[in-house]
Structure 1
Amino acid sequence: METDTVSDQARAGASRLERLDRLPFSREHRRLLVGSGVGWALDAMDVGLVSFVIAALAVTWPNDVGMLGWVASAGFMGMAIGASVGGLLADRIGRRQVFAFTLLLFGLATGLSALAWSVGVLIALRFVVGLGLGAELPVASTLVSEFAPPRIRGRIIVILESFWAVGWTVAALIGFFVIPASDIGWRWALALGAVPAVYAVVIRLGMPESVRFLESKGRIGEAEATVRRFERAAGVVSPDAIVATPDTVVPARTAPARVSGLFAAPVRRQTISLWIVWFCVNFSYYGAFIWLPTILVASGFDLVRSFGYTLIITLAQLPGYAVSAILVEKWGRNRTLAAFLVGSAASAALFGLASAEWQVIGAGMLLSFFNLGAWGALYAVTPELYPTPLRGTGAGWAAGVGRIASIIAPLIVPVLLATTSTLLVFVVFAAVFIVAATAALGLADKRGRSLDEALATR
């Protein structure tokens, strides 16, 4: 019955985007979600490995402990640049092209990091890794959001983000079993990060380009072929002739995306609120989780127990994503995001107060649950706030601004730990989460609405 309805609407002259939005979730959607998600998981594995590598290098290269914070921060510097440039490129040359290239770049650079003979070389290579990693995440979420059916779009993006927990769990397993096995265990761990270089080839061959991007560039034939591909997968009969209605076809030579467009009405207030949220969430997340194994070691736990506790804490990310995936479609994006950020603040305070082992694990699991649930909601809302010609740029620059915080946080944490206490560090994180929650309430909610439906001017 649903197939007949969609087919009738298509024959009646529905635009390509309307046809795409009305499709049920099909095997093509699933293939795109899983394909992007595996790339996302590989990214998370790479970022997660850094926290374990830093903890191991503090033992292996004790004379360079003061420089180890730069190993993480150099990667985030690259991510800040990569996210900003990658978003712009995604709006100019396509989402799929940028996604594949960035996977290749950070995969190769991570593999080369295994050969680093000094902290300085490792820092330089981590910067290159960050360039690829920073661009990939917002581009992947933009691509998937442009294909997802509107009624479940938020849920689909949270599921995509949940692959991050899978990758971070793999990193924790590698950290627990591989890194402590020998003095060069950290090198073997980084060598495994070269896997994305191989996966990039597979991704490039199988993923579709965004229909919205193709239409914005006047590539109507390719856009029609892609819509028909998804219609076939859903069992929907395509119209006999190419539909080219005035409301969807944009002249081939459209103005290139510019950062200034992020501050034009009606998206100006959304951009400001979004950048605040991205900055605060990055600051608290990376400040806490990059240094978590090291903080546990400094608290008296040995390296293996520290890595084991981190693995347990990491597993709590998965139910956080699951709950967030449900609530973004029931409560809306902004309210879900704010609620999880408040939960993150409370969990951070509890972690700072924890002393017994069960308290450390319990508070850490709560922090994982709420913080990663917030990440899922944040990635769901970000692409929805901008029109197609500006969507990659908007998502990329929001992520880029967030990466500035992820550069600062790993450098501040060691200083705070040396001069104050773990409690004060996590109180700071809690306060930053509250700021993010307040800003999140200012974001628009396009739950169930088409991506092409304009925001109301406020």
Structure 2
Amino acid sequence: MNNDNEIKDIIARVNRIPVWSLPYSFLIIIGIGYFFTFYDISDIGFAMPAISTQFHIGASTSLFLALSVGLIGYAFGSYIIGSIADVFGRYKSMIITMALTAIGSFGDAISFNVPELTIARFVTGLGLGADLNLVSGYISEFAPPQWRGRITVYTFIIGILGQAITPFIALGLVPVYYNGWRYLFAIGGIIAVIALLLRFELPESPRWLAIKSGNLEKAKSVLKMMEDTAEKRFGKLPDPHPEDVDLKEYEQKFPTLYLFEGKTGKIYSKRLTILVFMWFFWYIGNYAFLGDAATMLADAHISLASSILYLAIGAIGYPVGAIIMALTADKYERKYVIFFDTVIWFIGLIIFSLKTEPTLLAGSFMASLALGMYLQVAYTYTAENYPTRARASGFALTDGIGHIGGALGAIILPIIVASYTFKTGFIFIAITGLIAGLISLLGPRASRETLEKISS
């Protein structure tokens, strides 16, 4: 049997597995890493008011430190480490990302001036941006087609708790202790170290091992473990069909080039364009809400503690949204689910813009619910749309360029609120989120399909 036939056989054997074929503890390990990711995305917004006061920096510098530096790191880390993952493997790259986030988070905690904090935020961003990219692709390469959405959401439920719990931790630290913001970052660093140590238990993707590394024996070893686990849970596995596997993505090119050259390049360039604009418009509102909402409420003469409390109560919507997606993610076509999620976002932000105590609570809950519903389904959909040999770098380009919208949104929202009204600003980010949902409808179908079929 030549290499091509062996590779086809390995991929066909992976595709025939109808259940999650790794220990369930691995989902928890991946979820803990996600927990830190969403913890850090939230903690900077709650820490910045105290940092601004202690470091004597203005609003524009505060915004730059809080979001722009981290997002620049996201973009660089996502693409550079994403490309490394396509060339050198998912496993090694996922170790690198969590190590960077741990270093960056402890660096945040011990920063005593603006330059130190800037460097720490950039390092944290390098790891976070790449990790969001890698985890979705990694899970997609192990999960069976009919359960791919649900399984990715299971890990996301653990992760999104980080975004739900962070406001309560911040409420107990930032307004109470002078160094409360430092403790907030240090807790994140401890979580990142735990996630890093646990990740050493994870295997490499057999798809990547077969297609990119050429280490067929290692791929077969991991696959044998997967099949043994699957047979215990499912019984006799269906027969593999290697004749259905197309190896056109096996050419040895630099991963990014594969997305732009020849006939396949036209397909992936179109998908890249759709997904970049989808994430660009989504991130405008996402980062504006997460990074600016507490400050905007404080500027509207609501105390910092009350502002955090409103957002903390609303943050209960994050895990609720993720649980809803765990029950529905694979029942309906992914892009329609994404659109529905953005409709919930739109309604929630319209309600939030009314700025009364009941509407702030209800709107915060609905916006958080939409975020919990949207993120992992959209991450999964993005990863599914690229081929195995360029999945990480394709996702990285999409997410990295899309984050430009996040940087703009975080800066634009305060300008709109200052120039017009609180209501106008939050209606604006409600609309940008809905636009993201409309753009997603232009993408291909992906639910319950093999990764190779989606890539064709």
TM-score under structure 2 normalisation? 0.90
Distance in 2 separating the partners of 1:45 and 1:454 = 32
- How far residue 116 of structure 1 moved from its aligned partner, in angstroms, is 1.3
Alignment partner, residue 150 of structure 1: 145
1:259–1:252 Cα change, 3 Å: closer
1:91-143 CA deviation, whole Å, 9 max, x = no partner? 11111111111110111111011111123321222011101111111101100
Choose from 87, 92, 97 the match for 2:87. 92
Choose from 200, 212, 215 the match for 1:219. 215
- How far residue 81 of structure 1 moved from its aligned partner, in angstroms, is 1.1
- How far residue 212 of structure 1 moved from its aligned partner, in angstroms, is 0.8
Farther off after superposition, 203-212 or 361-370: 203-212
1:410-458 CA deviation, whole Å, 9 max, x = no partner? 22223223222211111211221222122110111221111111546xx
Distance in 1 separating the partners of 2:192 and 2:455 = 38
AA matched with 2:85: A
1:249–1:14 Cα change, 3 Å: closer
- Which aligned pairs between 1:63-82 and structure 2 lie closer than 5 A? 63-71=57-65, 72-82=67-77
Q: Do the aligned residues in 2 keep the contact of 1:16 with 1:248 (CA within 8 Å)?
A: no
Choose from 159, 163, 166 the match for 2:158. 163
Farther off after superposition, 322-331 or 96-105: 322-331
Alignment partner, residue 381 of structure 1: 381
Q: Which runs of 5+ in 1 are unaligned?
A: 1-12
1:455–1:245 Cα change, 3 Å: closer
1:273–1:194 Cα change, 3 Å: same
Q: Do the aligned residues in 1 keep the contact of 2:153 with 2:376 (CA within 8 Å)?
A: yes
Alignment partner, residue 366 of structure 1: 366
1:395–1:216 Cα change, 3 Å: same
Distance in 1 separating the partners of 2:286 and 2:422 = 15
Q: Do the aligned residues in 1 keep the contact of 2:258 with 2:390 (CA within 8 Å)?
A: no
Farther off after superposition, 22-31 or 317-326: 22-31
- Which aligned pairs between 1:184-223 and structure 2 lie closer than 5 A? 184-199=179-194, 201-217=196-212, 218-223=214-219
- How far residue 302 of structure 1 moved from its aligned partner, in angstroms, is 1.6
- How far residue 247 of structure 1 moved from its aligned partner, in angstroms, is 4.8
Distance in 2 separating the partners of 1:38 and 1:391 = 23
- How far residue 34 of structure 1 moved from its aligned partner, in angstroms, is 1.8
Q: Does 1:42 align with 2:36?
A: yes
- How far residue 250 of structure 1 moved from its aligned partner, in angstroms, is 9.2
Farther off after superposition, 380-389 or 139-148: 380-389
Farther off after superposition, 327-336 or 196-205: 196-205
- How far residue 225 of structure 1 moved from its aligned partner, in angstroms, is 0.4
Distance in 2 separating the partners of 1:259 and 1:348 = 40
Q: Do the aligned residues in 2 keep the contact of 1:15 with 1:248 (CA within 8 Å)?
A: no
Q: Which runs of 5+ in 2 are unaligned?
A: 1-6
Distance in 1 separating the partners of 2:288 and 2:118 = 18
Query: Matched residue pairs, number?
Result: 441
Alignment partner, residue 302 of structure 2: 301
Alignment partner, residue 412 of structure 1: 412
- Which aligned pairs between 1:133-148 and structure 2 lie closer than 5 A? 133-148=128-143
- How far residue 200 of structure 1 moved from its aligned partner, in angstroms, is 5.0
TM-score under structure 1 normalisation? 0.89
Farther off after superposition, 417-426 or 245-254: 245-254
Distance in 2 separating the partners of 1:379 and 1:78 = 19
Distance in 1 separating the partners of 2:304 and 2:280 = 31
Q: Do the aligned residues in 2 keep the contact of 1:157 with 1:379 (CA within 8 Å)?
A: no
AA matched with 1:233: T
- Which aligned pairs between 1:46-445 and structure 2 lie closer than 5 A? 46-71=40-65, 72-199=67-194, 201-217=196-212, 218-235=214-231, 247=245, 254-259=252-257, 261-262=259-260, 264-352=265-353, 354-445=354-445
